[in-house]
Amino acid sequence: MRAIAGYRGDISTEFALKLLPLTFVRPGELRCAAWDEFNLKAAEWRIPAARMKMRELHLVPLATQAVALLTDLHTLTGKGHYVFPSIRSKDRPISDNTINAALRRLGFSSDEMVAHGFRSTASTCLNELGWHPDLIELQLAHAERNESRGAYNRAQRLGERRNLMQAWADYLDGLRTGNAAAVPVRDEASLHGQQH
């Protein structure tokens, strides 16, 4: 998180690097993000089904840190279609390899970190920190492995997911500043969710 905070380069790449850990969406979902998918007042990002691996609309609650970054970025790229336009053409998003190339520039080898790795890192840490696995899986937009449960359970648990995303962003801030131990990560909703 400290290395990412110090990244200096193309503005689209810089903001993509900062937003990917906060949202832990798939890199392709992030790089192709369009401004019309965002409601910053509601702190929501609605990724259309056509851009999702599972072909279902995915709602990403945005932590205050993500909203602040997007608000700043909107002043720079908000007149165009793409949130992260390519340096070569504003009519295209950053490339598939942009974030990985930025991680290499920061000194991380492909064995240490790749763009997709923010998803597994978030999943692992949130599970270790005691968040309910169902919330994490919902936020990762993973398909329900139990077909019967998947057919009947359409609950999105949005309020709990908002809490999870804000706690995660606060935790990442704590890692960046060196004060992660002081950040409470679980909340009562998560604790109750584990008991049921």
Residue 61 in domain: yes
Largest alpha-carbon pair distance within the chain?
A: 52
In whole angstroms, give the CA distance from residue 122 to residue 4.
16
The active-site residue out of 18, 31, 58, 119 is: 119
Catalytic annotation, pick one of 116, 157, 162, 186: 116
82 catalytically annotated: no
Across-strand partners of 47?
58
Active-site residue identified among 2, 92, 149, 152: 152
| Domain contains 29 | yes
Is 119 a known active-site residue? yes
The tally of domains found in the chain comes to 1
Residue 80 within a domain: yes
Cα distances (angstroms) measured from residue 24 to each of 20, 80, 141: 5, 24, 10
| Active-site position among 2, 53, 149, 192 | 53
- Tens digit of pLDDT at every position of the chain (196 positions): 999 999 999 999 999 999 999 999 999 999 999 999 999 999 999 999 999 887 889 999 999 999 999 999 999 999 999 999 999 999 999 999 999 999 999 999 999 999 999 999 999 999 999 999 999 999 998 755 444 444 334 457 889 999 999 999 999 999 999 886 655 556 544 444 444 3
Q: Characterise 8 by phi-psi region: left (phi > 0), alpha (psi -120 to 50), beta (else).
A: beta
Which residue out of 92, 142, 149, 192 is catalytically annotated?
Answer: 142
Question: Quick check: is 133 in a domain?
Answer: yes
Q: Let me know if residue 1 belongs to a domain.
A: no
- In a domain, residue 26? The reply is yes
d(CA 133, CA 121): 14
152 carries an active-site annotation: yes
Does residue 76 sit within a domain? Answer: yes
pTM: 0.86
Asked if 74 and 35 touch (Cβ cutoff 8 Å), the reply is yes
Task: Quote the CA–CA distance of 90 and 80 in Å, as a whole number.
Answer: 7
The answer as to whether 2 is a domain residue is no
CATH number for 20: 1.10.443.10
Segments forming the whole domain that contains residue 16: 7-195
Q: Is 162 a catalytic residue?
A: no
